[in-house]
Amino acid sequence: MTLHPKTNLHKSFYYYFCPAENGNFKMKYILILLSLWFVKPELNPATFREKQLNYTRVREAYSSKEKMVVKSLKEHAISRDSLRLYMRAFKTEKKIELWGKNICDSTFTLIKEIPMCEISGEIGPKRRSCDLQVPEGFYHINELNPYSKYYLSMKINYPNTSDSIRGAKGHLGNLIYIHGGCESSGCISINDEKIKELFVYCIEAYNAGQQEIGITIYPAKLEDKTYNRLISGYSKNKDKVSLWTDLKKSYDLFNLKKVPPTVKYLPDGTHEVSNSPVTEVQSTGSIAPVAIQGPTIEH
């Protein structure tokens, strides 16, 4: 067998295995090349946004809210390609604050306040299933659900470490969401139009590489007067008082620094709250940081 002096890899492969005088070898080589072509790795994998747009309700949300979201980000000098989000929810005021920044920015800017349509329970943490309580504490979004009974929903990672320590063992409950509609049994509902908008914001942040979108849930806006009133009124409830003390520190630090504080869970279920921001782990934007739930009629 004679090797032809070709520098092209494919041609060298051909001349080595397929002498020109043998037509069968030519055909085998062509078939090999075709098979390699069709099984080659995808050079441009779908982005997080593109994957979500496979879902009908997400497409509807983008059709309705994308221009509004992009305009709002532009007004706050935030690029959709470097978006980072953080949320604060206040049960008494029935509002969610949506904060954003660019990756390179040192502080967050308030983008908007989203009114809650309905919220169940009373102030104080959730400590067991079926108590209708909306949790309080430090959480993040860990799932997007485009098949929700309430149009669209995003799951909060309740129970967190503190809840697991302080709640009813084996009866903590779960499935706590921010969702559309206007009813609540432990969730935060913000109606269909608002959940469309919030969904687009969150997908844009994940698409830009954010790994976790934090949300801190408070009993109320913990200004000094409100906080003192709560601590005085619930002085015998050590569980609430200790949680609200930690949340107060978080509330004040964020108001001062405009950066979510670092939170460490302690063995007794309390928190060590400090003003050292967590170093973010970057994502490519194509790897889903949250699970996409299949068809459901629950949340």
Is 128 within the bounds of a domain? Answer: yes
Number of domains in the chain: 2
Is 194 within the bounds of a domain? Answer: yes
Is 3 within the bounds of a domain? Answer: no
Indicate the helix (H) or strand (E) that contains 200: helix 192-207
Is 297 within the bounds of a domain? Answer: no
21 and 115 inside one domain: no
90 and 227 inside one domain: yes
21 and 70 inside one domain: no
Is 1 within the bounds of a domain? Answer: no
185 and 273 inside one domain: yes
Mean pLDDT by 10 residues, the chain (299 residues): 44 44 57 54 78 97 98 98 98 98 97 97 96 97 96 97 95 95 95 98 98 98 98 97 98 97 97 80 47 60
105 and 190 inside one domain: yes
119 and 14 inside one domain: no
123 and 13 inside one domain: no
pLDDT score for 5: 42
**Has this prediction a pTM greater than 0.75?**
yes
pLDDT score for 107: 97
32 and 144 inside one domain: no
14 and 148 inside one domain: no
pLDDT score for 296: 58
The CATH number of residue 62's host domain is 2.40.440.10
33 and 52 inside one domain: no
DSSP structural state of residue 291? E
Q: Give the residue from 73, 108, 142 showing the smallest Cα distance to 253.
A: 108
Q: Give the residue from 80, 163, 70, 179 showing the smallest Cα distance to 124.
A: 163
62 and 29 inside one domain: no
Is 4 within the bounds of a domain? Answer: no
Query: Domain span at residue 15?
Result: 9-38
Give dist(CA 150, CA 182) in Å, integer: 8
